[in-house]
């Protein structure tokens, strides 16, 4: 009986996680994909790729905030709950390998706070944030040395 209940609870949790991921993916398609393209591939020279990259930002507090303060995020018509869900899904789905080991998911309260102060100069601040992260992360330092900061 207890085992049965535990199984039901587990599968409900799994279903809930699945439903959240699906909603996040749909929201990505509707609200971000137009520019960032499927799989977060980005558009060379115009829109940053999220794929195999966006996770690097989560290695610093400034980078964590940066992701939630770019115009595409702060000005989105999604609410804070949907946005935190989307960002948590996006960094794992497109950039799991670049994430720090202890990635703390965004909360909707955090997003509510951050989006009140949009980043006035994302292009300028991006490079200094990445420089600091690269100091402790040779793989990113190599990437910058090879490709520069270009996207
Ligand atoms: C109208 C096009 C457009 C839309 C829609 C858009 N973005 Fe962006 N995004 C950009 C551009 C361009 C940049 C580069 C910084 C800038 O100029 O704002 C950017 C930067 C970013 C960055 C920083 C990445 C980096 O490497 O610097 C993240 C993260 C991001 N966007 C996530 C999102 C998410 C999540 C959504 C959907 C909720 C979204 N964007 C919607 C165009 C867009």
Distance 122 CA to ligand 1 centre (A): 10
pLDDT tens digit sequence for 25-83:
999 999 999 999 999 999 999 999 999 999 999 999 999 999 999 999 999 999 999 99
Kindly report the number of other CB atoms within 10 A of residue 6's CB atom: 10
List the Cα angle 81/34/112 in 5-degree steps.
Answer: 20
Mutate to test the pocket of ligand 1, among 29, 33, 35, 79 (most ligand atoms within 8 A of CB): 35
Decide yes or no: CATH 3.40.50.11900 for domain 2-147.
no
Distance 119 CA to ligand 1 centre (A): 12
Tokens at 31, concatenated = 């609200």
Maximum separation of any 2 CA atoms in the chain, in Å: 59
pLDDT (0 to 100) of residue 1: 67
Domain boundaries defined on the chain: 2-147
Q: Which residues line ligand 1 (CB under 6 A)?
A: 31-32, 34-36, 47-48, 53-54, 67, 70-73, 76, 86, 90, 122-123, 126, 151
* Mean pLDDT confidence for 5-14: 84
pLDDT (0 to 100) of residue 49: 96
pLDDT tens digit sequence for 87-138:
999 999 999 999 999 999 999 999 999 999 999 999 999 999 999 999 999 9
Tokens at 18, concatenated = 């699945």
Separation of alpha carbons 20 and 42, rounded Å: 24
- Closest residue by Cα to atom 28, ligand 1, is 67
């Amino acid at each position: 009986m207890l085992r049965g209940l535990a199984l039901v609870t587990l599968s409900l949790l799994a279903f809930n996680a699945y439903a959240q991921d699906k909603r996040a993916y749909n929201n990505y398609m509707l609200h971000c994909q137009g520019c960032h393209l499927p799989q977060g591939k980005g558009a060379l020279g115009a829109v940053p790729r999220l794929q195999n990259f966006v996770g690097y930002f989560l290695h610093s507090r400034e980078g964590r905030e940066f992701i939630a303060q770019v115009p595409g995020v702060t000005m989105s018509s999604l609410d804070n709950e949907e946005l935190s869900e989307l960002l948590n899904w996006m960094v794992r789905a497109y950039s799991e390998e670049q994430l720090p080991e202890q990635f703390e998911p965004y909360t909707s309260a955090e997003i509510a706070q951050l989006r009140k102060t949009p980043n006035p100069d994302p292009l300028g601040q991006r490079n200094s944030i990445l420089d600091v992260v690269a100091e402790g992360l040779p793989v990113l330092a190599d990437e910058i040395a090879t490709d520069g900061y270009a996207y």
